Amino acid sequence: MDKKILFNKCITLLTSVHRVTHELTQNAKSESITPVQYKILEYITVSQPVTPSDISDCQHMSMSNTSRELKKLSEKNLIKKISDTEDRRKQYICLSKDGEALMNEAFAKVELRFLDRIRNASKEDLQEIDRSLDILQTKLFY
């Protein structure tokens, strides 16, 4: 196995994944939030509850900027902050009802587009895709 060829193949896939991600998600987010805020909400959605520090680490932004964006999301009533009872410096961030509604709507659009993308795939194709997702998830994108 030539690792150089594998590298190029991987780069090609990365490029395609980013293009398809854009196709699946374009205009999915509400216009009332910025791209950064959407990414934060997306992260909260799949990982809640999370602390501001978690967000700062995973979204690669400074604590000060994270704090600012969370404040804005709070003002838009999209998230809830819950103080840790043990360590009162810590906070747990969750989606509010409004935040959940907003993200459900976005995810529904993305899912529709995903289903459209695989609508012509045969049963065998779907099984191959499923297996490939598992392999890449565990062996390459761990």
Closest approach, Cβ 29 to DNA, in A, equals 11
**112: alpha, beta or left, given left = phi > 0 and alpha = psi -120 to 50?**
alpha
> What does residue 77 show for φ and ψ, rounded to 5 degrees?
60, 35
CB 64 within 8 A of CB 107: no
**DSSP one-letter string for 77-103:** T-EEEEE-SS-TT-EEEEE-HHHHHHH
Work out whether 28 is an interface residue with DNA (CB under 7 A).
no
Work out whether 18 is an interface residue with DNA (CB under 7 A).
no
Work out whether 99 is an interface residue with DNA (CB under 7 A).
no
> Considering CB under 8 A, how many residues would be counted as binding its own copies?
47
Q: Which does 101 bind (CB under 5 to 8 A by kind): DNA, its own copies, none?
A: none
Binding mask 69-88 for DNA (x = CB under 7 A): xxx---------x----xxx
Q: E strands within the chain?
A: 79-83, 91-95
* Residues written for the chain: 142
Closest CA to 103 of 21, 24, 43, 18: 43
Which positions from 18 through 77 interact with its own copies, judged by CB under 8 A?
Answer: 18-22, 46, 58, 60
Judged by the rule CB under 7 A, the positions of this chain that interact with DNA are 34-37, 51-53, 61-71, 81, 86-91
Judged by the rule CB under 8 A, the positions of this chain that interact with its own copies are 1, 3-4, 6-7, 9-22, 46, 58, 60, 110-111, 114-115, 117-118, 121, 123, 125-137, 139-142
